[in-house]
Amino acid sequence: MTGQPRWFVIRNNTPAAATLAFMSLIDLLQGDPREHLGFDPDELKAKYLAERDRRIRPDGNDQYTEVVDEFARYDEDPYTERIERDPVDDEVQVVVVGGGFGGLLIGGRLKEAGFTDVRVIEKGGDFGGTWYWNRYPGAMCDVESYCYLPMLEELNYIPKHKYSFAPEIMEHSKAIARHFELYDNALLQTGVTEMRWDDEIERWIISTDRGDTVRARYVAMANGPLSRPKLPGIPGIADFTGHTFHTSRWDYDYTGGTNEGNLTGLADKRVAIIGTGATAVQCIPHLGASAEHLYVFQRTPSSVDVRNNRETDLDELGDLLPGWQQRRMDNFNVLVSGGDQDEDLVSDGWTDIFRNLTGIAAKTASRQLGRRLTSREKGKLMELSDYRKMNQVRHRVDEIVEDQATADALKPWYRQFCKRPCFHDDYLPTFNRPNVDLIDTAGRGVKRITSTGIVVENADGTETEYGVDCIVFATGFEVGTSYTRRAGYDIIGRNGETLSERWADGMRTMHGLTAHGFPNCFFLGFTQTAVTVNVPHALNEQAKHVRYILEQARDRGAEVIEVTAEAEQAWIDEMKDKARLGARFYAECTPGYYNNEGKPGDNPVGFFAGAYGAGPIRFFRLLDEWRENGRLEGLDLK
Ligand code: NDP
């Protein structure tokens, strides 16, 4: 290792080293950690900060291009031919906006509770939400399928693999819709354009881009947090005359192939992909295998750890007694929220990260020390464990990628949760293919797009243009813009007040689910609620809660439910009080949507602005207790 900076030195890099030895936790806290780590944490931190600094841009979240006007085609549905139909003018009991997991869960839970007249309005041509849109080759879920796919017990279904591929998840979504007969009343290929509360008739009036007028007593918003594709604000992006598309609108007519790859249409094509986030990590191996030449344009590398996907082994799932999925979800949720469990049922990269970084590591150290750790010690332990974990991730790059310069460029220099951790076994080996080039932009991003290619600036200030036939934008989704802009419509509540006005300085809800001035309206997703790795778990808890409220209203003969201004304010105060989701942590992170592109705290509608700081365990318990006491605290019913 002569000549290498000290942070490259890793003493203990076997997979088993992922679990830090108990004694070493104490060693890390006492004395000079360099002796035990084999690297200098201060030096490493300085490296992280330097890498962050060169990526910070003054335009932050404004750097992206919205998919409107000349870019509107990037938002169009390439999967389902548009079916013309007459406008609908009628009334239903409940309108659910969005047919993804949130919509399926709330729709299904309400059907279970005897609300028969539920209508889902969905922009896509079918149910599935993110799994309808994200059909790119290699698309798969990176959370264990037995926890992630909703309602497995209700549908008596066991996924085929530990991590499901997108087509299976889409099929499962459709199966849920069929099971709860949600197709019967659905309006697919339909975008809501406005939702207006009519105080006279105590109904919502929903208008759509198909000219529909639907009246509904209740509305539930399940629009999804990452649903609107975004484009990079690269000069010249509109000048390119070759083929382009966004990963969430994959053009199989052009590429050929399927989710399993075999993209025969690319055999004679020079393909560029811009972006190396969680999506790109999954589709790059297929592009590399099929394209004549693939250029991967990278601004910031992802952290990519072992996937180890495998076919389902029923033995691994245990007894499958009633309630098995909820128990597995709860076990996973506790572990990935920093809690402790006797058994790690999922036992994968996610739980491994959390075992090392959060509560369990601290608890172990505290047992060994014979006293509680101070919060400073806990923070230090987490930071040092994080450095070790990321050293291991970086070491994995060296082990797999043959060309040293490419390997070095693929190493992520930030803490584990600055960006979404990725897990893949074919991503890094793709860079050993002779037809694949990593074009690392050293944090600067692509400089310019011309009519025939992509220009990057080299370290010496010169430029290189790469001629390509096709550009795939793996540049993610709108985050941190207003709720109503992402939803694509405004909600007009009591007294004509719009949700965009009401939430102009940040969301205002009780439990993330209801807002004062917007009676009979419920929000699912990432609105002042608990954020957890397994998003469908949170959506299910929200759906169960809304079901309970509507059941109570029905049983009590109430027509209108509205959160009081006081209860809403109390929840906002509670959110503020618990807003400890690491302001400093994210300030030190490389830019990304987790930290509002390097400006955490600057955006009242940023990704984590809607996250309940006390975490999902506490939040789910809070909802349980609220239901158990039966007082419907904070709600006015009439
Ligand atoms: P991301 O927002 O995570 O990634 C966008 C990528 O585009 C980044 O690599 C970004 O670089 C890059 N980029 C943006 N602008 C430029 C530019 N001007 N020049 C060069 N590169 C640029 O989007 P993804 O679609 O990858 O993922 C979004 C989310 O979807 C994930 O975080 C995850 O939550 C979810 N997802 C979940 C999966 C699952 O299995 N459950 C699978 C895939 C996605 P930089 O990092 O520098 O900003």
| Radius of gyration of the chain from its Cα atoms, rounded to whole angstroms | 25
| Co-location of 494 and 613 in the same domain | yes
Give phi and psi for 581, each to the nearest 5: -75, 60
Identity of the residue numbered 393: V
In DSSP notation, 455-478 reads EEE-TTS-EEEEE-SEEEE---B-
Q: What are the tokens at 264?
A: 């025969």
Considering 368, 389, 410, which residue would you say is the last residue of a domain?
389
Domain assignment present for 101? yes
Which residues lie with the beta carbon below 6 Å from any ligand 1 atom?
A: 141-143, 226, 232, 234, 274-280, 282, 297, 299-300, 420, 445-446, 474-477, 592-593
Cα distance between residue 40 and residue 4, in whole Å: 13
Same domain flag for 337 and 453: no
What is the extent of the structural domain holding 244? 234-303+398-473
* Across 94-103, 371-380, 396-405, 449-458, least confident range: 371-380
Residue among 145, 279, 410, 438 to mutate when testing ligand 1 (max atoms within 8 A of CB): 279
Give residue 406's pLDDT: 98
Neighbouring C-beta atoms of residue 25, cutoff 10 Å: 25
Quote the Cα angle for 113-115-119, to 5°.
130
Atom of ligand 1 nearest to the CA of 444: 19
The answer to whether residue 199 scores a pLDDT higher than 60 is: yes
What distances in angstroms separate CA 46 from CA 165, 267, 410, 590, 594, one per listed residue? 39, 44, 19, 12, 21
| Among 461, 385, 463, residue whose Cα is nearest residue 417 | 385
**pLDDT at position 472 over 90:** yes
Residue 3, burial from CB neighbour count under 10 angstroms (0-12, 13-18, 19+):
exposed
User: How many Cα atoms within 13 Å fall on the side-chain side of residue 538?
Assistant: 27
Amino acid at 153: E
Is residue 371 situated within a structural domain?
A: yes
> Could you identify the residue written with the tokens 């990704």?
607
Mark whether 542 and 624 lie in a shared domain: yes
Helix (H, G, I), strand (E, B) or coil at 557: coil
Q: Is residue 84 part of a domain?
A: no
**20 pLDDT more than 60:** no
Q: What is the pLDDT of residue 24?
A: 58
Of 140, 119, 121, 126, give the one whose Cα is nearest residue 77.
126
pLDDT tens sequence across 497-529: 999 999 998 999 999 999 999 999 999 998 899
Task: Give the C-alpha separation, 534 to 336, whole Å.
Answer: 9
- 296 shares its domain with 428: yes
Neighbours of 362 (CB within 10 A): 22
Q: Give the CA-trace dihedral at 232, 446, 416, 1, to 10 degrees.
A: 170
Residues 357 and 286 in one domain: no
Residue 269 lies in a domain: yes
> Does a structural domain hold residue 64?
no
Length of the chain: 638
How high is the mean pLDDT of the chain?
A: 92
**Identity of the residue numbered 149:** L
The reply to whether 525 and 385 lie within a common domain is no
Place of tokens 């080759």: 137
Q: Flag whether pLDDT at 336 surpasses 70.
A: yes
Residue having the nearest C-alpha atom to atom 45 of ligand 1: 300
User: What tens digit of pLDDT does each residue of 277-308 get?
Assistant: 999 999 999 999 999 999 999 999 999 999 99
Q: What is the pTM of this model?
A: 0.94
**Judgement on whether residues 328 and 455 belong to the same structural domain of the protein:** no
Lowest mean pLDDT segment, chosen from 6-15, 71-80, 98-107, 493-502: 6-15
> CA 619 from chain center: how many Å?
19
Look at residue 70 and tell me if it is in a domain: no
For position 604, what pLDDT does the model report? 78
Atom of ligand 1 lying closest to residue 446 CA: 19
Q: CA–CA separation, 574 vs 583, rounded Å? A: 17
What phi and psi values does residue 145 have, to the nearest 5 degrees? Answer: -60, -35
What's the domain count of the chain?
A: 3
d(CA 484, CA 435): 43
Of the pLDDT bands very low, low, confident and very high (cuts 50, 70, 90), residue 8 is very low
Q: What are phi and psi of 322, to 5 degrees?
A: -50, 135
Residue 65 lies in a domain: no
Same domain, 179 and 222: yes
CA of 248 to the centre of ligand 1 (A): 11
Are 579 and 451 in a shared domain?
no
Q: How far apart are CA 403 and CA 117, in angstroms?
A: 60
Q: Out of 64-68, 213-217, 266-270, which region has the weakest mean confidence (pLDDT)?
A: 64-68
Question: Rounded distance, CA 334 to CA 532, Å?
Answer: 10
pLDDT score at 413: 98
Give the confidence band of 366 by pLDDT, cuts at 50, 70, 90: confident
What tens digit of pLDDT does each residue of 571-595 get? 999 998 887 656 778 889 999 988 8
Taking the CA of residue 593 as reference, the ligand 1 atom at the shortest distance is 2
pLDDT at 4 over 50: no
Regarding whether 511 and 607 lie in a shared domain, the answer is: yes
CA 481 to CA 471: how far, in whole Å?
25
Instruction: Please tell me the distance between residue 274's alpha carbon and the centre of ligand 1 in angstroms.
Output: 10
Shared domain for 193 and 332, answered yes or no, is no
In testing the pocket of ligand 1, which one of 53, 140, 248, 299 has its CB within 8 Å of the most ligand atoms?
A: 299
pLDDT at residue 62 tops 80: yes
Distance between CA 188 and CA 123 in Å, rounded?
A: 6
The CA distance from 230 to 253, in Å, is 22
Per DSSP bridges, beta strands 490-492 and 192-198 are: parallel
| DSSP per-residue codes, 388-444 | HHHHHHHHHHHHH--SHHHHHHT---S-GGGS--EE-SSHHHHTTSTTEEEEE-TTS
- Tell me the C-alpha distance between 502 and 197, whole Å: 15
Work out the average pLDDT over 179-197.
97
Of the residues 338, 371, 389, the one at which a domain ends? 389
Whether the CB-CB separation of 402 and 428 falls below 8 Å is answered with no
Centroid of chain to Cα 537: 13
Pair 110, 195 in one domain:
yes
User: Cα–Cα distance between 446 and 365 in angstroms, integer?
Assistant: 45
For position 26, what pLDDT does the model report? Answer: 65
* CATH code of 133's domain: 3.50.50.60
Q: What amino acid occupies position 359? A: G
Residue 310 domain-assigned (yes or no): no
